[in-house]
Amino acid sequence: MESFKDFIDFLTQPTLMLTLSMVTFPFFFPINDWFEKWNRRLRLNLLWTNAGLVVVMLGLALFFVVGVQDAEFRLIMLKPDNVPIVGLIFLVYFFMWVSMKQASDNDARLSSGKKPNEYHDPDEKVLVWPDLVYVEFISLILCMCLLLVWSIGLEAPLEEPANPAATPNPSKAPWYFLGLQEMLVYFDPWLAGVVFPTIIIFGLMAIPYLDKNPEGSGYYQFKNRRLAISIYMFGWIILWVLLIIIGTFLRGPNWNFFGPFEYWDIHKLEPLTNINLSEIIYIKLFNTGLPSNIFLRELFGFIVVFGYFLVFPPLLAKTVLKRLYLQLGNFGYGVFVFLLLCMLSLPIKMYLRWIFNLKYLIAIPEYFFNI
Amino acid sequence: MSDKKNIFERFGESQVWKSIFRSGVPRTRRQRMMSVLNSVFLHLHPVRLPRHAVKLKFTWCMGGLTFFLFLVLTISGILLMFYYRPTAEYAYTDIIDLREQVPLGIMREIHRWGAHAMVITTWLHMFRVFMTGSYKPPREFNWSIGVLLLVLTLLLSFTGYLLPWDQLAMWAITVGGNMARATPFVGHEGPGAALLSIGDINFINMGADAKFALLGGRFVGEAALLRFYVLHCIGLPFVVMILMAVHFWRVRKDGGISGPT
Ligand code: HEM
């Protein structure tokens, strides 16, 4: 039992958990034929079968049932405001199953020349009363019952009265913003709290104008939309939901990482040795001091950041994203690649931190301009 | 055979009943169509739909449940407003009274857990719309309206989080407010803020920047409580209701629930 707990604590470290989920992700949602071959060879498509649903749900349930026997685990999972996130884990898998199962059914139908399951003779329609009204009515009653049971069973939290003099450790944002707070570890607030949320909102709004693929409009389907679905899933599951899970359950005092079975020790010390790119280059590499001219000092950072946004777009347009470039034209493609690169900059910055202890690529604290 | 009618049937034929429900008990096809058309609530729907569109496995009824939760939150929120005063002096104790003095005191639970649930159902609804490709033409614009609804749902939740005026509330909003202070150009610790100055005078400073506008002060205090209260109870719901009306209207005008052709 103890070794099981240690193993889970080990596995859930952000470094390991994020790496594992990012590496395995394309096998679950194959982005090209090669990954699809492996998806089938590894039988990962069984995940979207009835048996898959039962196994995963029971597995998750078992994990939580065993887990709550442990006092530390109970403390963090059953905190009233955290309960919805436990529910979210089950719901996300369940609805991913609902959609992916129908998508793979339809993929099979379409490849054998049939119409998708949703297709019915357009002349044959059903009446809203009773067919739809009843479905809505029953879902609504069930939803209300669930909410009532939840409300009777679990008291809303109320802590000590607000006190500006006593900062709790850790201070957490509401759970749905914990993805952003987790980003604060890797980016300054002007990026993590303002620029990235804005980009996320505009990026989401831009989806219909960037995805010009006419396939799969109005029915579940995976195969002919795999690029779009993979990107969406990556952003939603890994960069949003997983970061929320990390932020809620695994971040303790001083925003240090704590495994789900680990005691929240306020005195846990994480050595803070993060350094800036300019320091790596001028001090470690060149062995000279930092130049006093800000632009000279941050020159390499600017080269890296501008290079990232200037070199990759044409490079990708000539190689893997060629078809997309021709389809979207200069402007559409530019917007798409910019959004994609912004999204990928988060995991990239994470790895730079984990591997090189890199704090900022560009660090101009004089003007609050740190990247 | 007696043609005696029971009390329900007699009532169903009375002038009172018929003046309310014009089309009678929906038994025939015509009556069923008319009962949808004649009701201001039901006629959000079309009268007839393709078969796949009424199936739970297609829409998961997720948009409908999101709307339902919004209504639950509105009603429970109104009840909470009877008891709650948004001042530093009373806010916290009013919340305690809600739990201890009010009979059947689960209104606060319904409101809080309902809000969490609405955030989740909105995400799931969006996920469904994505997976069925329902944002593709002609529904692009309605997807964008949806994104705004999502943002507003989160903001509603966020503004409500402060109102209990406990440690959890105050410090969660402090974390959020500290981000506003770093807004480029208009936050006093944001990049570019120093550009907006003449000589020694900074136009963007602690007393005049995005954070101050959000909180009505330099810190999370009583002014912030009032601001969040007004936004939470009046400002944001007002905008959300308008956008929901547009959203539902567009679902119909874009040709109803999407489907394969
Ligand atoms: C407060 C939040 C929202 C409410 C109350 C709401 C409500 C609804 C309802 C009742 C429908 C009818 C079909 C269904 O139930 O699935 C619908 C459809 C739709 N919603 Fe939402 N919605 C919300 C948020 C969103 C979001 C966040 C998005 C996407 C970003 C979105 C995009 C759409 C689209 C594109 C349709 C048309 C779907 C189709 O034709 O299949 N909505 N919405």
Are B98 and B209 contained in the same domain? yes
Domain membership of residue B28 (yes or no) is yes
Are B13 and B61 contained in the same domain? no
Spatial separation of the C-alpha atoms in residues B50 and A121, rounded to whole Å: 8
Are B162 and B39 contained in the same domain? no
Are B165 and B217 contained in the same domain? yes
Element (H, E) at B250: helix B236-253
Tokens representing residue B215 in the block: 């909180």
Domain membership of residue A150 (yes or no) is yes
Q: Which residues 10-49 in chain B show a CB within 8 A of chain A?
A: 26, 29, 32-33, 35-36, 42, 45-49
A176·B144 Cβ contact <8 A: no
> Whole-prediction pTM value?
0.94
Q: Which residues 182-221 in chain B show a CB within 8 A of chain A?
A: 182-184, 187, 189-194, 219-221
Residue A331: per-residue pLDDT: 95
Are A23 and A134 contained in the same domain? no
Q: Which domain holds residue B233?
A: 57-253
**Nearest protein Cα to ligand 1, atom 15:** B63
Are A132 and A231 contained in the same domain? no
Are B130 and B24 contained in the same domain? no
CA Rg, chain A, in Å? 24
Domain membership of residue B258 (yes or no) is no
Are B44 and B65 contained in the same domain? no
Q: Shortest Cα distance from A85 to chain B (angstroms)?
A: 9
Q: Which domain holds residue A137?
A: 127-156
Are B31 and B68 contained in the same domain? no
A312 touches chain B (CB under 8 A): no
Q: What are the pLDDT digits (tens) for A170-206?
A: 888 899 999 999 998 899 889 998 999 999 999 999 9
Residue B229: per-residue pLDDT: 97
**Residues forming a β-bridge with A161:** B166
Interface test with B, best of A155, A368, A370, A371 (most B CBs within 10 A): A368
CA A52 to chain centre: 22
Are B145 and B171 contained in the same domain? yes
| Three-state DSSP state, A233 | helix
Q: Shortest Cα distance from A52 to chain B (angstroms)?
A: 18
Domain membership of residue A143 (yes or no) is yes
**Residues 6 or more apart from B91 whose CB is under 8 A from it?**
B84, B85, B163, B164, B165, B225
Residue B210: per-residue pLDDT: 83
Q: For A78-157, where are the alpha helices, taking DSSP H only? A: 83-111, 133-153
**Residues forming a β-bridge with B49:** A126
Q: In total, how many domains does chain B have?
A: 2
- In order of A149, B66, B104, B187, the CA distances from A143 in angstroms are 10, 10, 20, 42
Mean of the per-residue pLDDT values for chain A? 91
Q: Is A69 exposed, middle or buried (0-12, 13-18, 19+ CB in 10 A)?
A: exposed
Domain membership of residue B259 (yes or no) is no
Domain membership of residue A206 (yes or no) is no
Residue A343: per-residue pLDDT: 96
Domain membership of residue B185 (yes or no) is yes
Are A1 and A46 contained in the same domain? yes
Are B210 and B117 contained in the same domain? yes
A168·B57 Cβ contact <8 A: no
Are A132 and A252 contained in the same domain? no
Residue B198: per-residue pLDDT: 76
Residue B65 maps to which CATH number? 1.20.810.10
Average pLDDT value for residue range A42-51: 93
Residue B164: per-residue pLDDT: 94
**Nearest protein Cα to ligand 1, atom 17:** B63
Low-confidence residues of chain B: pLDDT under 70: 1-3
Q: Which residue has the higher pLDDT, A288 or B248?
A: B248
Are A101 and A147 contained in the same domain? no
Domain membership of residue A165 (yes or no) is no
pLDDT band at A227 (very low <50, low <70, confident <90, very high): very high
Domain membership of residue B187 (yes or no) is yes
Residue A273: per-residue pLDDT: 78
| Domain end among B48, B68, B83 | B48
Long-range contacts of A118-124 (CB under 8 A, 24+ apart): A118/A218, A118/A219, A118/A220, A118/B52, A118/B58, A118/B259, A118/B260, A119/A219, A119/B52, A119/B259, A119/B260, A120/B50, A120/B51, A120/B52, A122/B50, A124/B51
Are B117 and B204 contained in the same domain? yes
B230 touches chain A (CB under 8 A): no
User: What DSSP state is assigned to residue B218?
Assistant: S
Q: Each residue of A267-298: b (16+ CB within 10 Å) or e?
A: eeeeeeeeebbbbbbbeeeeeeeeeeebeebb
Tokens representing residue A338 in the block: 């910019």
Q: What are the pLDDT digits (tens) for A322-346?
A: 999 999 999 999 999 999 999 999 9
Are A105 and A240 contained in the same domain? yes
**Which of B59, B129, B254 for a ligand 1 pocket mutation test, highest count of atoms within 8 Å of Cβ?**
B129
Are B97 and B126 contained in the same domain? yes
Domain membership of residue B71 (yes or no) is yes
Are A103 and A245 contained in the same domain? yes
Domain membership of residue B260 (yes or no) is no
Q: What are the pLDDT digits (tens) for A60-100?
A: 999 999 999 999 999 999 899 899 999 999 999 999 999 99
Which residues does chain A have within 8 Å of residue B206's beta carbon, measured at their own beta carbons? none
Minimal CA–CA distance to A336: which of A210, A196, A204?
A210
Q: What are the pLDDT digits (tens) for A292-323?
A: 888 888 899 999 999 999 999 999 999 989 99
Q: In total, how many domains does chain A have?
A: 2
Are A110 and A234 contained in the same domain? yes
Are A113 and A149 contained in the same domain? no
B109·A155 Cβ contact <8 A: yes
Which residues does chain A have within 8 Å of residue B29's beta carbon, measured at their own beta carbons? 127
**Residues forming a β-bridge with B50:** A125
Are A25 and A46 contained in the same domain? yes
Are A246 and A230 contained in the same domain? yes
pLDDT of residue A124 exceeding 90, the answer is: no
Tokens representing residue A99 in the block: 């959609």
User: What DSSP state is assigned to residue B201?
Assistant: E
Are A63 and A44 contained in the same domain? yes
Are B41 and B73 contained in the same domain? no
A88·B112 Cβ contact <8 A: no
Place of tokens 């009943």: B17
Minimal CA–CA distance to A251: which of B234, B250, B175, B34?
B175
Residue B2: per-residue pLDDT: 57
Domain membership of residue A258 (yes or no) is yes
Minimal CA–CA distance to B107: which of B152, B72, B135?
B72
0.90 surpassed by complex ipTM = yes
Tokens representing residue A241 in the block: 């939901």
